[in-house]
Chain A
Amino acid sequence: MYLLEAQNIYKSYADHQALTDVSLQIPKQSIFGLLGPNGAGKTTLIRIITSILQADSGAILLNGEKLKRSHTQSIGYLPEERGLYNKMRVGEQLLYLARLKGLDRSLAIDRIRHWLHKLDMLEWSGKNIEDLSKGMQQKIQFIATVLHEPQLVILDEPFSGFDPINVNIIKDEILNLRDRGATVIFSTHIMESVEKLCDHIALINKSKKILDGKKKDIKQQYRTNRFEIDHAGPLKGLEGVYSIIGSKTLDDNLFRSVVQVPEDHNPNQLLKELIIHTEIHKFTEIIPSMNEIFISKVSEQS
């Protein structure tokens, strides 16, 4: 079951095409990484999902229903460029934003207190936003995004500007949200966090979707059948089907080699072969990182 489906979305601005035939399926209770270089069309797609913009054509379905304005109540959105009213108090500001999402006053106040307490910000409730540090402001923005317990949480570069401690706090909260039933769309070009958090990804480049699916499957798909072997003594006389791509000396008589295995062979066959020739210390398959996939796909296109 998909929480959100985008079907053949087209969107153009006066001077350029922002989205071309983009379709996505975002499963319920997943963390979905929306990846792509700057200017690829991620923000436009997000703005269409949040009803800020209208697609030229195509449809967005939320829980199988065509997206309408009232759905914004079940969506929480943290934009990449974000801010708050500087002259407004923390508590009031959160209350205002929560009520705009349709939450009633007393419930909103309870939840604000709960979240401020959870993120250790309770004593700042009466302070103006401008008195807060940037990191604290970002926590407030995060709280504002999730106060109304949306089914769909959209986070656009949520970690930019956070210090490492806060990054971890927010990462944990994102995982918590998912575990409690929310679906998270996570737009970023920092692949490290994608690696850790995302279950599914889609890669958008130059207004088109060029890759999507489960992170695991994609990685599987992009495996190159290369193995990294640490071994004692030089590797010599390997059978012709295996080719040694690179080799370097690690230590006295300890070497690291990368071996390409042909499609119709499996790692066990290689191992058998290796045992004859050398003493194996370590044997790992080289699985491409999301970063490598990202770079290779994007540069392939341009």
Chain B
Amino acid sequence: MKKIFLVVKREYITRVRKRSFIVMTLLTPILMVGLIGGLLWVAMADKGGTKMIAVIDDSGLFKDKFQNSDDIHFTYLKENIETAKSEFNHMGPDGLLYIPKLDIQNPKGIQFFSENNPHFGVINKIENTLEEEIEHIKMMQLGVDPQILQSIETSISLNTLSLTSSGEKASNAEATVGTAYVSSLLIYFFLFLYGVQVMKGVIEEKYNRIVEVIISSIDPFQLMMGKILGIAAVGLTQFFLWVILSFAVTNAGFLIFGLDKDPVTLVSETAGIGIEATEIAQTNTGIMELMETIPITYVLVTFIVFFLGGYFLYASLFAVVGSAVDSDADSQQFMFPITIPLIISIVALGFVLNDPDGQIAFWMSMIPLTSPVIMLGRIPFGVPIWQLALSISLLVCGFIFTTWVAGRIYRVGILTHGSKVSYRTLTKWFFQNY
């Protein structure tokens, strides 16, 4: 056991000390937060400046109907549309709206000219105004009093609550789906990243032949497990550093930019140009508050459990691939079958999140090869404790089985050089006495 620890220590220290590890660990959260911050910045910058829109209204229906706002300023032109178009570039407005004579029943031929692609918010606002006005005219023609219509207009925003045995909790579908996606993708990414590191480590030892010296000191299985455990420790270190750094960078970012709003409202506000402000206010009522209803600690703990379980399962398979090939380049053919269940998990994630308690979701979160990704997708929606327990037990059995199989193939593989390895060879190795 002491010797396994030596291997774990070596694997851990040589990796954590690498410049690439330090850079990646520090830079990733900064980049992520920076990217989001940058997008916000661009969105806000884009919002700045009032759009000047020139309107030519040949129908005469929309006189003074376009309301100026902070964002858009409308000016009515008396000119002919053709002259307006030819003078468009010198005149300076950002857009030119042309409304021809209209048939109220079939309003067609309204055009909008602009130099660049028009802003979504602007189009939205113009369309809304046009629709409202035409509806208004139609109602007048039909003899409906707009006052009555206004009085019957209702706005509903569903207050979603999740009902569990421990009582009802406020929930938010977007936040839940978001958490599910992020944790599933993250675990997929982690399994790949660290699985491949195990494979590369095995290939390195085999390629530079130090493996023979080492297994004349310790059992090959100890070496394999030491490597897997050491890299798991690297993974956990990186994960914790990312969590801590992301929080730190986010907070620092908001301090620096002097923003007093919480990030979620900021995102929604900037993204929601064209949606009426009251609406934003409604949907955003305490999104942060709702975020808190997603039990962060619970998600983190299950993430770590399923990351470790899934990692041990996949890492031992990656170790087999590493032991079977002579160089990185040969590893492709054997990596393919290993990555299939992971890719299937990601493809199926959409279905699973649509129906987190359905058959597909249930079975895929039980099968050890797919359960880490799929179960992490289900967790934010709430998973019965027995399913969680069963899934974890199956995952543990799964990795015990794969490490056992892997160990038998590995000890032969690491000493075999130069021969073309097929799946039949691997089977032969598995049954070979050593």
Q: Contact residues of A with B, CB < 8 Å?
A: 13-14, 47, 50-54, 56, 69, 72-73, 75, 77-79, 81-88, 96-97, 99-101, 141, 144-145
**Total interface residues on B, using CB and 8 Å?**
26
The yes or no answer to B215 lying at the interface (CB within 8 A) is yes
CA gap between A88 and B14 in the complex, in Å: 7
Cross-chain contact A82 with B14 (CB below 8 angstroms):
no
In the assembled complex, the CB of B324 is this many whole angstroms from the nearest CB of chain A, namely 15
Write out the residue numbers on chain B whose beta carbons fall within 8 Å of the beta carbon of A78. 213
The yes or no answer to B433 lying at the interface (CB within 8 A) is yes
Which residue of chain A lies nearest to B7 when distances are taken between CB atoms in the complex? Answer: A100
CA gap between A18 and B219 in the complex, in Å: 22
Cross-chain contact A53 with B217 (CB below 8 angstroms):
no
Cross-chain contact A79 with B432 (CB below 8 angstroms):
no
CA gap between A144 and B216 in the complex, in Å: 12
In the assembled complex, the CB of A69 is this many whole angstroms from the nearest CB of chain B, namely 7
Cross-chain contact A83 with B210 (CB below 8 angstroms):
yes
Write out the residue numbers on chain B whose beta carbons fall within 8 Å of the beta carbon of A52. 212, 215-216, 415
Partner among B204, B417, B433 whose Cβ is within 8 Å of the Cβ of A54: B433
Cross-chain contact B433 with A56 (CB below 8 angstroms):
yes
Cross-chain contact B434 with A144 (CB below 8 angstroms):
no
The yes or no answer to B119 lying at the interface (CB within 8 A) is no
Q: A82-B209, A86-B208, A100-B3 are in contact. List 6 more A-B contacts (CB 8 A).
A: A52-B212, A52-B215, A79-B212, A79-B213, A88-B14, A97-B214
The yes or no answer to B10 lying at the interface (CB within 8 A) is yes
CA gap between A246 and B6 in the complex, in Å: 66
CA gap between A54 and B18 in the complex, in Å: 37
Cross-chain contact A96 with B208 (CB below 8 angstroms):
no
CA gap between A18 and B280 in the complex, in Å: 78
CA gap between A51 and B136 in the complex, in Å: 92
A79 and B209 in contact (CB under 8 A), knowing A88-B14, A100-B217, A100-B218? yes
Cross-chain contact A69 with B434 (CB below 8 angstroms):
no
The yes or no answer to B428 lying at the interface (CB within 8 A) is yes
Which residue of chain B lies nearest to A154 when distances are taken between CB atoms in the complex? Answer: B216
Cross-chain contact A96 with B10 (CB below 8 angstroms):
yes
Cross-chain contact A85 with B14 (CB below 8 angstroms):
yes
CA gap between A101 and B215 in the complex, in Å: 10
In the assembled complex, the CB of B375 is this many whole angstroms from the nearest CB of chain A, namely 36
Partner among B208, B215, B417, B428 whose Cβ is within 8 Å of the Cβ of A85: B208
Cross-chain contact A84 with B208 (CB below 8 angstroms):
yes
A53 and B434 in contact (CB under 8 A), knowing A100-B3, A100-B218? yes
CA gap between A83 and B207 in the complex, in Å: 8
**20 A-B pairs whose Cβ atoms sit less than 8 Å apart in the complex:** A13-B432, A14-B428, A47-B415, A54-B433, A54-B434, A69-B219, A72-B217, A79-B213, A79-B216, A82-B212, A83-B208, A84-B208, A84-B210, A85-B14, A85-B204, A86-B208, A96-B10, A97-B217, A100-B218, A145-B213
One digit per residue, 1 when the CB lies within 8 angstroms of any chain A CB and 0 when it does not, for chain B 5-44 equals 0110010001000100000000000000000000000000
In the assembled complex, the CB of A15 is this many whole angstroms from the nearest CB of chain B, namely 9
Write out the residue numbers on chain B whose beta carbons fall within 8 Å of the beta carbon of A86. 204, 208
In the assembled complex, the CB of A38 is this many whole angstroms from the nearest CB of chain B, namely 13
CA gap between A88 and B208 in the complex, in Å: 13
Which residue of chain B lies nearest to A144 when distances are taken between CB atoms in the complex? Answer: B213
A100 and B214 in contact (CB under 8 A), knowing A54-B434, A85-B14? yes
Write out the residue numbers on chain B whose beta carbons fall within 8 Å of the beta carbon of A141. 213
Cross-chain contact B213 with A96 (CB below 8 angstroms):
no
CA gap between A86 and B203 in the complex, in Å: 13
CA gap between A53 and B411 in the complex, in Å: 9
Most central of A54, A100, A101, A141 by chain B CB within 10 Å: A100
CA gap between A86 and B14 in the complex, in Å: 11
One digit per residue, 1 when the CB lies within 8 angstroms of any chain A CB and 0 when it does not, for chain B 36-61 equals 00000000000000000000000000
